[in-house]
């Protein structure tokens, strides 16, 4: 049975996610959040859940008309984070 995963502070999550995406795409911004291993270590995230996030992201990018090449650029930057986010 899947347990419910809740962010304790959605306003913060929205801000830090934006900062992080901006940073890894070489935008002019600073990431002020915690590192990926510390922020996810207590959540017991599986590969399946990680993949679900990637699929949702792709759906959102398609909906927004993000070109395929740009989508792949972002996904390629996120891929190495899997080893810090997935703990189960």
Please give the Cα distance from 70 to 86 (Å, whole number). 25
Least distance in angstroms from the C-beta of 69 to ligand HEM: 19
Please give the Cα distance from 59 to 65 (Å, whole number). 10
Specify whether the backbone of 17 is left (phi greater than 0), alpha (psi in -120 to 50) or beta. alpha
Chain residue at closest Cβ approach to ligand HEM: 33
Q: What are phi and psi of 62, to 5 degrees?
A: -65, -45
Per-residue contact track with ligand HEM, 2 to 41, x per CB under 6 A? ---x-xxx--xx--xx--x------------xx----xx-
Binding site for ligand HEM (CB under 6 A): 5, 7-9, 12-13, 16-17, 20, 33-34, 39-40, 43, 45, 49-50, 53, 78, 81, 85
């Amino acid at each position: 049975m899947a347990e419910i995963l809740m962010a304790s502070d959605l306003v913060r999550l929205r801000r830090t996610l934006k900062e992080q995406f901006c940073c890894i795409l070489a935008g002019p911004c600073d990431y002020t959040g915690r590192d990926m291993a510390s922020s996810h270590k207590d959540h017991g995230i599986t590969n399946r859940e990680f993949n679900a996030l990637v699929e949702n992201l792709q759906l959102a990018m398609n909906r927004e008309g993000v070109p395929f090449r740009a989508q792949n650029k972002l996904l390629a930057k996120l891929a190495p984070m899997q080893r810090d986010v997935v703990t189960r």
